[in-house]
């Protein structure tokens, strides 16, 4: 039955079409686009981390069957562009809704921006591919002598078999000769079968099975799967399975696929993440680690942060990619990473303290009318009405980012009265509001009121990372002339000082002080920015935001997932309060405990459980990741320097289906 199925697959027109697609460069590029689109399902609101892993593993698998740097670059560019474009589709809502751009122009800008973010992965990934190539010396054999001889015998055998099929049947033409030596023929046939049973070596010739059965020829070279030859027009005559040899610019080079998939490519991808998070103020939104929040790999976040988590994920995907092409000796690497994550899931590196009561106010003021002066008084009244019943019953009340669409100096008497009222009832209020310093300096800030009788004693935190083109306009004098896209309300802020104090919540009745790392909206996407302010005294994170810019897109869900990662990295609970959603309480394990629906006004009251202590990531930052990266680079360089022996080749093909 199995033989019949194999024969049917081999002779099926579908198999021929499949083989042509597999060997086509254009099909590989289309596959990269598809895999990039598939990877977006790993991010919020879908959280399908398994699909993200499969997508990345098969993309690496496709890269390993290429032998042209240009094709490697294009494949990575298409993969990450597709991933970025679909995951950041909420940018179109911002540009069309607030920038008044036509939809076509908006999509064009978003695709260009997505390609810009993907460019660094493509460039560094191509560099990793180049480093995994080793130029062979003129007198250096491309394959061990014994396997070469065996491969040559297989070629000759296959050629003779093919020739015999093309010749006419001599048995009918010469019946006397055929019948003259029946015993000798039978003896030869029996001897051949016996030799095949005794001397058959799986490394010499593969039986027809799997993808190799579609080829109709023995496995001779180290393609991506048995029988495949990556871009055969660039391939030299002889290779070792797992270590194909290319002819590039007239030189013989050997491709170390294991070094590429497990060492150089993960280093390249994480290096690209660093660049994206830093260059031109940075946009570290699309780290693949954010797609792993609801899977076992999230256990690595408190150890090495989201960057280290992404790096280990890249290595795991590389090991799986090697397994796809039957280099199963590397599969335990993925298994070990998975098992360690599984058994360390839920470990707490901090201890819980007595809870405090907190209330978050979600005013749900539409972004289209928020900055209209006619709505200033109604907005203030709404927040005061929602807050009044909570004062005296909560240890802290939190308003979202820019809750009041004015500068604090414009409503100073009101803020002074609110401060006194909160102080008398021991219910501090955290207010998101702007402040102005002459002559032309303004800050997006939060004020912690109600801990001293005077307003001047209020704690202030100024936003340290501003949204490009949203809160700060590069080349402002020129770009503002181009239209509404560069003229968002309140888009001329000044960046706050990097070194600022944590917010201190003084509980008079409990005779203790709790310290909170503050974060305003866009700041939460910068891992180091939040971690730099946390220390041994930190008890939690307070984040305020205005996610009305995203509308009903997936943007608020993605922003919430990023906030969950910040809480998990430091194992500090987070109270996240936004204007229109998603207002939520996140515990120290990054789990969503309680939330308000989007696009409604309301109050979220919770028992907030602060923690004490530090995670390894909170204590050492990216230092463990840097050490791991250096060790990975040294391992890759060491493996690349070694010549391939028969024993190593046998090890690479030790386990086969």
Contact indicator for 652, 326 with CB cutoff of 8 Å: no
Computed from CA positions of residues 9, 11, 17, 20, in that sequence, does the dihedral angle turn out positive or negative? positive
Phi first, then psi: give them for residue 576, nearest 5 degrees: -115, 120
- In the block, residue with structure tokens 């207002």: 583
Residues 6+ apart with CB under 8 A from 124: 268, 269, 271, 272
**C-alpha separations of 11 from 4, 163, 213 in Å:** 11, 20, 10
pLDDT at 531: 96
Beta bridge partners of 217: none
Distance of CA 451 to the CA centre of its chain: 42
Name beta bridge partners: 430: 398, 448
Write out residues in the chain with pLDDT < 50, as ranges. 2, 6, 9, 143-152, 154-155, 158, 162, 165, 168-182, 185-186, 189-237, 646, 655-657
Contact 559, 578 (CB under 8 A): no
Q: Tokens representing 6?
A: 């194999």
Q: How many CB atoms lie within 10 A of CB 267?
A: 23
| Catalytic residue ranges | 401, 463, 521
User: Which residues have a Cβ under 8 Å from the Cβ of 334 and sit 6 or more positions away?
Assistant: 316, 319, 320, 323
What was the pLDDT predicted at 153? 52
- Give the count of beta carbons closer than 10 Å to the beta carbon of residue 127: 18
For 353-619, the fitting CATH number among 3.40.50.2000, 3.40.50.300, 3.60.110.10, 3.40.50.2300 is 3.60.110.10
Are 66 and 231 spatial neighbours (Cβ–Cβ below 8 Å)? yes
d(CA 538, CA 516): 6
* Pairing of the two strands 245-248 and 602-608: unpaired
Q: Where are the domains of the chain?
A: 22-150+215-347+630-657, 353-619
The helix (H) or strand (E) run that includes residue 605 is: strand 602-608
- Whole-angstrom distance, CA of residue 114 vs CA of residue 557: 19
Question: Alpha helices of 211-330 — where are they, by DSSP H?
Answer: 257-259, 265-276, 301-324
3-class secondary structure, 255? strand
Predicted pLDDT of residue 656: 45
**555 CB contacts (<8 Å, ≥6 apart)?**
90, 93, 547, 549
Whole-number Cα distances in Å, 559 to 40, 42, 81, 525, 583? 15, 14, 20, 8, 11
- What are the counts of helices (DSSP H) followed by strands (DSSP E) for the chain? 24, 17
State the Cα–Cα distance between residues 537 and 456, nearest whole angstrom.
25
Tell me the C-alpha distance between 526 and 276, whole Å.
11
pLDDT of amino acid 484: 57
Cα gap 638→422, rounded to integer Å? 64
List CB contacts of 383: < 8 A, sequence separation 6 or more.
361, 363, 399, 403, 404
Tokens representing 256 are: 């170390």
| Residues 603, 120: Cα–Cα separation, whole Å | 43
């Amino acid at each position: 039955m199995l033989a019949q199925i194999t024969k049917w697959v081999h002779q099926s027109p579908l198999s021929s079409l499949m083989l042509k697609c597999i060997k086509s460069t254009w099909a590989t590029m289309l596959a990269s686009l598809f895999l990039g689109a598939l990877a977006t399902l790993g991010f919020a609101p879908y959280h399908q981390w398994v699909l993200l892993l499969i997508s990345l593993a098969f993309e690496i698998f496709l890269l390993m069957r290429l032998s042209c740097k240009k094709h490697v670059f294009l494949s990575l560019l298409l993969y990450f562009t597709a991933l970025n474009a679909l995951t950041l589709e909420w940018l179109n809502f911002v540009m069309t809704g607030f920038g008044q751009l036509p939809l076509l122009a908006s999509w064009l800008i978003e695709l260009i921006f997505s390609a810009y973010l993907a460019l660094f992965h493509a460039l560094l990934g191509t560099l990793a591919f180049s480093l995994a190539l080793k130029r062979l010396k003129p007198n250096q054999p491309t394959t061990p002598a014994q396997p070469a001889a065996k491969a040559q015998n297989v070629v000759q055998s296959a050629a003779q078999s093919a020739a015999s099929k093309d010749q006419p049947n001599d048995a009918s033409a010469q019946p006397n000769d055929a019948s003259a030596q029946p015993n000798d023929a039978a003896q030869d046939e029996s001897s051949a079968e016996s030799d095949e049973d005794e001397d058959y070596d799986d490394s010499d010739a593969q039986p027809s099975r799997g993808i190799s059965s579609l080829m109709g020829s023995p496995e001779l070279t180290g393609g991506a799967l048995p029988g495949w030859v990556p871009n055969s027009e660039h391939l030299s005559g002889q290779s070792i399975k797992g270590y194909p040899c290319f002819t590039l610019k007239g030189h013989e080079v050997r491709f170390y696929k294991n070094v590429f998939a497990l060492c150089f490519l993960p280093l390249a991808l994480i290096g690209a993440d660093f660049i994206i998070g830093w260059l031109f103020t940075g946009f570290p939104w699309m780290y693949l680690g954010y797609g792993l929040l609801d899977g076992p790999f999230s256990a690595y976040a408190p150890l090495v942060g989201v960057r280290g988590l992404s790096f280990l994920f890249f290595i795991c995907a590389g090991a799986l990619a090697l397994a796809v092409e039957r280099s199963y000796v590397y599969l335990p690497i993925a298994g070990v990473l998975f098992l360690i994550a599984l058994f360390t899931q839920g470990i707490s590196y901090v201890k819980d303290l007595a809870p405090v009561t907190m209330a978050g106010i979600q005013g749900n003021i539409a972004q289209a009318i928020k900055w209209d002066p006619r709505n200033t008084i109604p907005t203030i009244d709404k927040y005061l009405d929602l807050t009044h019943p909570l004062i005296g019953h909560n240890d802290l009340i939190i308003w979202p980012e820019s809750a009041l669409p004015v500068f604090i100096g414009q409503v100073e008497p009101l803020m002074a009265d609110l401060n006194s009222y909160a102080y008398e009832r021991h219910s501090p209020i955290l207010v998101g509001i702007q402040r102005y310093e002459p002559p032309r300096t303004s800050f997006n800030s939060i004020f912690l009121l109600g801990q001293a009788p005077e307003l001047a004693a209020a704690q202030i935190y100024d936003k340290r990372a501003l949204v490009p083109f949203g809160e700060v306009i590069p080349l402002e004098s020129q770009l503002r002339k181009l239209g509404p896209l560069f003229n968002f309300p309140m888009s001329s802020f000044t960046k706050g000082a990097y070194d600022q104090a944590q917010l201190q919540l003084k509980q008079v009745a409990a005779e203790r002080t709790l310290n909170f790392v503050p974060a305003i909206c866009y700041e939460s996407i910068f891992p180091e920015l939040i971690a730099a302010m946390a220390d041994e005294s930190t008890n939690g994170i307070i984040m305020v935001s205005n996610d009305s810019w995203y509308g009903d897109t997936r943007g608020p869900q993605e922003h919430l997932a990023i906030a969950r990662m910040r809480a998990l990295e430091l194992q500090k609970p987070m109270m996240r309060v936004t204007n229109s959603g998603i207002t939520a309480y996140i515990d120290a394990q990054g789990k969503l405990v309680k939330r308000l629906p989007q696009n409604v006004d309301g109050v979220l009251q919770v028992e907030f459980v602060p923690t004490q202590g530090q995670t390894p990531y909170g204590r050492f930052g990216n230092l463990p990741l840097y050490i791991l990266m250096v060790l990975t680079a040294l391992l890759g360089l060491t493996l690349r320097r070694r010549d391939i022996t028969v024993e190593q080749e046998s090890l690479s093909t030790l386990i086969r289906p």
